[in-house]
Every structure is written in C-alpha cells, then in structure tokens.
Amino acid sequence: MTASDSDNVWPVRATRTLAFILFSLFYASSPSFGAISCTAKDVKGITVSNFTVTEACSGPSDTGTAKFDLGFDFTGGSKYDFVLAIMDAADTVGDGTLDSSECLGQMATGNASPFADTDGDGDCYDLGAGTYSFSNISAPFQCPVNGSGGLETSFTPRVVFGWNGDGGFNVSCAEPSTTSTAAATKITLSKTTTDTSSTGTATGSFAFTTTNTDTASPSLTTTAASTPVSTDLWVTGTVSGGAYTADVAITETLDSAWDLTAIACTDGSGSAVGTYDLATGLVTLPASSLTLGSTLSCAFTNNAASAASATLTLNKVVVGGTAVAGDFTLTATGPATLSGTSGISGTVPTGTYTLSETSVTDYSSAVACSGAADTNLTDGLTLADTETVTCTFTNTYSPATANFTVSKSQTGGSNPVTAPGAISWTITVENTGSVALTSP
C-alpha cells in the first residue's frame, strides 16, 4: 500500500510549552504518552529528507515552520491513534515527554487517504500495514532555547512519528542534519509565455532541473499568454556565515516549439543576480547571493517558435508548338501542397517535395531548381529553413511523326540465278516514327 501527498499544511492548537508542536488536520484529545523512546516495534524505516525551515524563528518563544518529506513502513495489523511531532533532539525541555491535545490527521489532502478511525474511538486517526510516503509536509516547531534562555541559532530536529498501543507510545524517530533556525533562501521560479508571431500557441508546459534545492525537477504550465505562473524552491545544503556554500543551478529543458527569449534573476532589492545562458537555458546563482532568510526571483520567458519554412516558386517555359504556359498545372507535394500555373509561389514548411505537372500531347518535360542546397531531384526536392527556391518546368514541342523503313533481304537460292532456278526474298517494313501505323 502506498500513499503520496504534496503541499500539506497542518494547523496547530495550543499545547504545553515543549520543544516540539504536534500538528493535525483532525482535532481530538489524545492521551499522555509518557517518555519518548525511539525503539518502535511496528513503525519501521522512518525517513525524513529535504528538511527546510521556511518560516524563521524570531525568538526563543516563537514558533517556526519547516517542510520535509516523510516515508515509513508498517508491519502487522492496523495501528491506532497516530501523532507526529518535531522535537529538538537536544530535548531542551528535559523530560523527553510527548503530551499533546493534537492528533495526526488526514495528511493526503484531496486524496483517498490511508488514514481512518479504524478503532472507532473518535480519537486520533489510524493506519493499516503498508509502505507510505508524503512530500512537502509543512509543520510548525517550537524554536529551541539556549542555556541563557535565548534563541538557539541552530538545532538538530527530531521528527517523532508513532502510534498509541500496547500500553505505551510506540514510535520511530528520524534526525535530519543540524539546521539553522533562520529561514532557508527561497527562490521564486516563474514562467511567462508569449506568441508574438501569432502561431496560435500561447501556453505550454515546461520542465526544469535544479541543483541544491528541495525540488530537483520542478515544472510549470502557463494558462494564458503574458500571464506568469510560479513555484517556490527552497535552497538546501551547508550554511556557513549566514550563507550557503554551494551555488544553485536552474536549467530549463529546451523545447523546439518554444524560443527561450529572456531570463531575469533578481534579489529582494530588485538587483540582478546570477549568470544565465539562453542557448542552454542554464541559470547559476552564486552561493554568495544565497543568504539565509532572503528571497530571490528567477523569471523565464518563452515565445512560441515560428514553424521552419521556405519560399517555393514554380515556373513554366514552353518551347515550340502552340501550347502556352497556362496549359500546364504545376504541383509540389510534401508537408504541404503548392499547385497552380506558372508563377505560383508560396511559403511552405520545410521537408521533401515531389514535383509534377499535367501532361500536354506532343510536349516533353524537364525540371530544374535553383536556390536549394538539394541539387538531386531524383528522390524529390528537400527544402531547408529560410531557403528561397525556384523550380522551372521546361516543355519542348516534340510532335508525333509517321516514319517507316522498307528493307529486302535474300532468304533462299543463289544470286545471280541460273535458269531454270529461283531466288527467295523477304521484305521487312519497320515503323520508326512516333505514331502507330495501321493497315488501310
């Protein structure tokens, strides 16, 4: 059994002042669970990743907010009354006790949740055996206090997750890396699309990859021309002296249907930051610009690309006879069709075209093209982007003629003949003209 979740926010009600806050979407009273021991029997393999402070602590009595991804396994049958908490691993309260009036509720908003009130007690939600994962959980935590009663500038969070059963609180814990109590750097990534060439395509979906953020592969989909859409990225990694030690890279996956026309990254004061390359879609934000608590913006703009095209003109030359250019229909058939009499011209998509014309009696046909890189017409004419090509059909009058030859050859006897004697002859008539001959 697998569940997934994104962008969940759990509200919090008043609790006793501990080094953690429980959070839930389902409010109910819960019992006191006693001292915490991270030695679960049934909650297995809890993992916490991408732990990022998104709302900073301003003082020791403040509440911060963090986001993280959570995964865990269950064995056995259904378990009851689940709670989730962020504690300070140092346990600044000192008693290691988890006591709250909050219960873990339905984490998968808008989803068929794995949580239910299985035991029917109207209390904390329950879970069956299985493997679960949730992304971008947003949860509050009590800001840690130092030995002087002030705010700790960093702490090691302990995520405690478990259920009330078998006469005690059966839990697993995970401790992400030590993190600052200041908020991480937030990068607002936005996308705007335009259609200045009136191609009819004004919106699209765009994929990105990032390094050193909480979202490795974000994507954005526009819904109207010139109307930006955005998502927030949170910088992750090692912090030293109030700033991160590694650069952040954001790369757009280029799409031939769109031209990447602009990238602009700015800091909170509106000053330009970072370097970018339109040809590759890469933005690099230097570590020096990624200070804790700061907000940066990176805006990518794409314009709908015009389809690759060439200009093709079909001409006619008539040599001899009474036919005129208008007697012949000229046609180029390929990704599009261009057809008409001499002088027909148009802008057509690039690709390979077959050239043809209607036939007129007594006229031979030949075609030659200029302006194209392709000079071999035996397999068609291939047009490349921006080429201007003219193809000329030349028809020469070649009327049908009625010609024949008569030949005679000896087939028997001797020549001269001695009387009495005989000579045999064969007479052959051969049609060497272009008109069929028939007997009168």
How many Å from the N-terminal Cα to the C-terminal Cα in the chain? 95
pLDDT on residue 420: 75
CB-CB contact of 162 with 39 (8 Å): no
Residue 193: name the closest of 225, 230, 231, 229 by CA.
225
d(CA 50, CA 2): 20
Q: What is the average pLDDT across 304-321?
A: 92
Identify the helix (H) or strand (E) that includes residue 368: strand 363-370
Neighbours of 216 (CB within 10 A): 12
pLDDT on residue 103: 52
Single-letter code of the amino acid located at 154: S
Higher pLDDT pick, 120 / 393: 393
Token reading at 23: 């959070």
- 114-123, 270-279, 287-296, 345-354: range with lowest mean pLDDT: 114-123
Instruction: Specify the residue for token string 């021991």.
Output: 37
* 49 — pLDDT class (breaks 50, 70, 90): confident
d(CA 78, CA 128): 4
pLDDT over threshold 80, residue 398: yes
* 240 — pLDDT class (breaks 50, 70, 90): confident
Strand 131-142 vs strand 8-9: parallel, antiparallel, or unpaired?
parallel
Q: What is the average pLDDT across 418-431?
A: 77
Q: What is the average pLDDT across 313-329?
A: 96
Higher pLDDT pick, 103 / 438: 438
C-alpha neighbours within 13 Å on the C-beta side of residue 217: 2
Higher pLDDT pick, 65 / 438: 65
d(CA 307, CA 81): 60
Higher pLDDT pick, 255 / 81: 255
For 218-308, list the strands marked E by DSSP.
219-221, 229-234, 239-240, 243-244, 248-252, 258-266, 275-277, 282-285, 295-304
What letter would DSSP give residue 274?
S
β partners of residue 313: 345, 390
Three-state SS at 70: strand
CB-CB contact of 415 with 424 (8 Å): no
Predicted model pTM: 0.62
C-alpha neighbours within 13 Å on the C-beta side of residue 389: 28
* 362 — pLDDT class (breaks 50, 70, 90): very high
CB-CB contact of 186 with 296 (8 Å): yes
pLDDT over threshold 90, residue 25: no
d(CA 100, CA 48): 22
pLDDT digits 0-9 by tens, 140-189: 787 887 778 888 888 888 777 777 654 455 667 777 888 888 899 999 99
pLDDT over threshold 80, residue 342: yes
pLDDT on residue 76: 65
What is the torsional sign of CA 358, 360, 366, 372?
negative
Size of the chain, expressed as the number of residues it contains = 440
Q: Could you give the C-alpha distances from 434 to 274, 365, 366, 430, in angstroms and in order?
A: 79, 17, 19, 12
- Note the Cα 174 to chain centre separation in Å: 33
pLDDT on residue 242: 80
pLDDT over threshold 90, residue 289: yes
Neighbours of 368 (CB within 10 A): 11
* 24 — pLDDT class (breaks 50, 70, 90): very low
Residue 189: name the closest of 303, 55, 300, 285 by CA.
300
Mean pLDDT, the chain, integer? 80
CB-CB contact of 266 with 297 (8 Å): yes
String of DSSP letters for 79-147: B--EEEEEEETT-TTSS-B---SEE----STTS--S-B-TT-SSSS-BB-SSEEEEEEEEEEEEPPB-T
pLDDT over threshold 80, residue 437: no
pLDDT over threshold 90, residue 195: yes
pLDDT on residue 2: 37
